[in-house]
């Protein structure tokens, strides 16, 4: 397993998903991983800034990648939208934009070379599932889990491409390595709606509610997601969404790193389980 990474937390881990940062930083040393936060990383554009200025968004991410290159490390993030934005920028740079964008980076004495790959916590764990399994102290054998991939972990394939986008297996592999039961969950590949919660609120609440209800119908104890934005949408907006559709189901929604932490025997407090809006204490 690659042991050292240039860590790209993404904006949401510094604020509304603070528990995602707490949990990834808690599991990393137990898994023997060193996360070195990229100094001076900027917002990736969050799948929004390109609607205003695609070039500025590409420049910002070229700079983010160049900062990681200076550390001579591959990039790791847990936010799926950051993953997509960084990987898309890398693909654009490596396929013809590098020279042009480097003339702009030069204004800050920086240069993008293309030497740092970009990966996610989910992919890293899936690639090293056996090693992960060997470190499990408290197998989650009684836990029924609905795995929710989140769009930007799998789509579009041309930018992500780690696995099949219609029949992915990485998340199930990881959750099974932790000893938990993966329940059949029809909406595991659906969209939570997070990116349009402002302009298309009514639709988004329906989408969020549908996912929670589908997980509840599968008799899951919780929903787990690798993406902090999906977690926010399904957790923070869950009560609003259920009210919109007059649904009763209420399920804890936890971050991938929190689930891993529980199986590694890390204290729930250290994993920030208190910060989840829907009470997740029963899972611990």
Partner 1 sequence: MKFIIDRFDGKKNYQQTYTVEKQDIEALTLLGTLLFIKQHLDLTLNFTASCRMAICGACGVRVNGHAYLGCDTKMTELFEEYKDADTFRISPLANYTVLSDLVVDWEPAIENLRKIKPGLVAKDEFSEKEGCRQNQEQYDRIVGQWDCILCGVCASECNKLTADHSDYMEPFVFTHAWKLANDSRSKDPMIHTKAAVMNGLWNCVHCHECTNRCPKHISGAEDIAGLRALAMRKGLNSGVGPAHAKSFYTDLVEDSGRLNEIRLALRTEGVSTVARAGTAITLMRAGKMNPLEIFGGHEIEGHKDLVKMIEAAKAANKE
Q: Residue 1 or residue 196: which is nearer to partner 1 going by CB?
A: 196
Q: Residue 190 or residue 221: which is nearer to partner 1 going by CB?
A: 190
Q: Residue 65 or residue 263: which is nearer to partner 1 going by CB?
A: 65
Cβ 240 to partner 1 shortest distance, Å: 7
Instruction: Give the DSSP letter string of 88-119.
Output: HHHHHIIIIIHHHHHHHHGGGT----S---EE
Which residues between 43 and 102 bind partner 1 (CB under 8 A)?
Answer: 43, 45-57, 59-60, 63, 67, 84, 101
281 binds partner 1 (CB under 8 A): no
Rounded-to-integer distance, Cα 255 and Cα 261, Å: 10
Cβ 172 to partner 1 shortest distance, Å: 12
Which residues between 165 and 184 bind partner 1 (CB under 8 A)?
Answer: 165-167
Cβ 263 to partner 1 shortest distance, Å: 24
Cβ 135 to partner 1 shortest distance, Å: 28
Looking at the DSSP bridge assignments, the partners of residue 147 are: 224
104 binds partner 1 (CB under 8 A): yes
Which residues between 218 and 237 bind partner 1 (CB under 8 A)?
Answer: 236-237
Query: How big is the site for partner 1, counted in residues (CB under 8 A)?
Result: 68
Q: Residue 90 or residue 264: which is nearer to partner 1 going by CB?
A: 90
Q: Which segments of 114-187 does DSSP mark as H helices, in order?
A: 121-127, 129-134, 151-154, 170-177
- End-to-end Cα spacing for the chain: 27
Of residues 21, 87, 90, 155, which one binds partner 1 by CB under 8 A?
155
Among all chains, which residue has been given the structure tokens 């990648």? 65
Which residues between 250 and 279 bind partner 1 (CB under 8 A)?
Answer: 274-277
Residue 126 token pair: 């899936």
Residue 64 token pair: 């983010």
CA distances from 199 to 195, 203, 205, 231 (A): 9, 9, 12, 19
149 binds partner 1 (CB under 8 A): no
Question: Other CB atoms closer than 10 Å to residue 244's CB: what's the count?
Answer: 16
Rounded-to-integer distance, Cα 42 and Cα 239, Å: 32
Going across the sheet that includes 253-255, the strands are 181-182, 144-147, 222-225, 253-255
- Site residues for partner 1 per CB under 8 A: 11-12, 14-18, 39-43, 45-57, 59-60, 63, 67, 84, 101, 103-105, 107-110, 151-152, 155-158, 164-167, 190-191, 193, 195-196, 198-200, 202-204, 206-207, 236-237, 240, 274-277
């Amino acid at each position: 397993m690659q042991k050292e990474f240039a860590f790209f937390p993404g904006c949401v881990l510094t604020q509304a998903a603070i528990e995602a940062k707490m949990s990834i930083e808690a599991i990393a040393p137990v898994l023997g991983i060193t996360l070195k936060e990229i100094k001076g990383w900027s917002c990736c554009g969050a799948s929004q800034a390109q609607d205003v200025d695609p070039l500025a968004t590409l420049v910002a991410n070229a700079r983010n990648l160049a900062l990681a290159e200076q550390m001579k490390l591959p990039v790791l993030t847990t936010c799926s939208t950051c993953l997509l934005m960084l990987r898309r920028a890398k693909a654009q740079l490596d396929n013809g934009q590098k020279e042009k964008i480097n003339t702009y980076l030069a204004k800050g004495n920086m240069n993008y070379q293309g030497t740092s790959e970009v990966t996610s916590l989910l992919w890293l764990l899936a690639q090293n599932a056996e090693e992960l399994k060997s470190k499990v102290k408290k197998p989650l054998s009684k836990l029924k889990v609905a795995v929710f991939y989140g769009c930007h972990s799998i789509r579009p394939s041309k930018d992500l491409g780690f696995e099949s986008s219609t029949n992915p297996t990485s998340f199930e592999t990881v959750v099974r390595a932790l000893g938990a039961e993966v329940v059949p969950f029809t909406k595991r590949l659906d969209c939570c709606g997070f990116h349009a919660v402002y302009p298309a609120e009514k639709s988004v609440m329906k989408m969020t509610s549908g996912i929670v209800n589908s997980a509840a119908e599968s008799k899951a104890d919780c929903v787990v997601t690798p993406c902090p934005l999906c977690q926010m949408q399904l957790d923070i907006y869950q009560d609003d969404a259920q009210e919109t559709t007059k649904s009763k189901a209420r399920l804890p929604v936890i971050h991938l790193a929190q689930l891993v932490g529980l199986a590694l025997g890390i204290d729930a407090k250290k994993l920030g389980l208190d910060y989840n809006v829907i009470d997740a204490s029963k899972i611990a």
